[in-house]
């Protein structure tokens, strides 16, 4: 486990509009504001469609990451996440998870990593900028999964 004390910066409330590309709008806002890292304690609202990490059928290796995606349409969602800088792509790397309920199937649910989405009606988000320490998301570990790491500080354990 890694842990560190965060120095927080600006707080924002975001309201995404119908038809917005959720990830594009989020990363564009961060670029405009000079945000390279943040925590997202909550977002909620509707998506016309979204793509989540998920496989259709048994996993060949339950210990390996799943890179397949699944498409869901017309859902209500609640989620949270972190934004960190990817040294591999030299860009912002959102890590967002959602719990969604399908409107057409009595709110049948799915929970997973959000890959992309189009807003339906509205999405509302709380975003808290992190000033320090630097939060990075390099690919590491046995499966080269993008993993949150922190610059060294007295409370930070070194990455394994």
Ordered by start, the domain boundaries in the chain are: 8-53+66-140
pLDDT reading at 1 higher than 90: no
* Confidence (pLDDT) at 157: 47
What percent of the chain is modeled with pLDDT above 70? 95
What is the dihedral sign for C-alpha 7, 11, 16, 20?
negative
* Confidence (pLDDT) at 156: 44
Class in CATH terms, 8-53+66-140: alpha beta
Q: How many CB atoms lie within 10 A of CB 60?
A: 8
> What is the average pLDDT value for the chain, to the nearest integer?
93
pLDDT reading at 155 higher than 90: no
β-pairing verdict for 108-132 and 38-53: antiparallel
Banded pLDDT at 5 (limits 50, 70, 90): very high
Spell 85-100 as b/e; 16+ CB within 10 A means b. beeeeeebbbbbbbeb
Cα(32)–Cα(99) distance, integer angstroms: 28
Banded pLDDT at 154 (limits 50, 70, 90): very low
Torsion of CA 142, 145, 147, 151, to 10 degrees: 70
* Confidence (pLDDT) at 142: 83
Poorest-pLDDT segment among 21-25, 68-72, 152-156 = 152-156
* Distance, C-alpha 96 to centroid of its chain: 2
Q: Is 67 helix (H, G, I), strand (E, B) or coil?
A: coil
Q: Of residues 113 and 156, which shows the higher confidence score?
A: 113
Query: Is there a contact between 145 and 65 (Cβ–Cβ < 8 Å)?
Result: yes
Banded pLDDT at 6 (limits 50, 70, 90): very high
* Confidence (pLDDT) at 29: 98
Residue 9 phi, psi dihedral angles, 5° rounding = -115, -130
84 DSSP β-pair partners: 93
Q: What tokens were used for 138?
A: 């390099």
């Amino acid at each position: 486990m890694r842990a560190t004390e965060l120095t927080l910066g600006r707080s924002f409330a975001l309201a995404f509009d119908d038809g917005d590309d959720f990830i594009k709008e989020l990363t564009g806002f961060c670029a405009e504001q000079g945000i390279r890292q943040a925590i997202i304690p909550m977002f909620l609202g509707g998506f016309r469609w979204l793509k989540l990490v998920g496989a259709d059928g048994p996993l060949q290796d339950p210990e390996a990451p799943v890179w397949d995606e699944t498409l869901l349409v017309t859902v209500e969602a609640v989620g949270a996440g972190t934004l960190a800088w990817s040294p591999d792509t030299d860009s912002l790397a959102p890590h967002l998870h959602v719990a969604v309920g399908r409107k057409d199937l009595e709110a049948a649910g799915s929970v997973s990593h959000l890959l992309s989405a189009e807003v339906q009606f509205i999405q509302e988000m709380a975003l808290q900028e992190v000033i320090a320490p630097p939060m990075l998301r390099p690919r590491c570990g046995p499966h080269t999964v993008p993993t949150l790491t922190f610059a060294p500080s007295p409370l930070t354990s070194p990455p394994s």
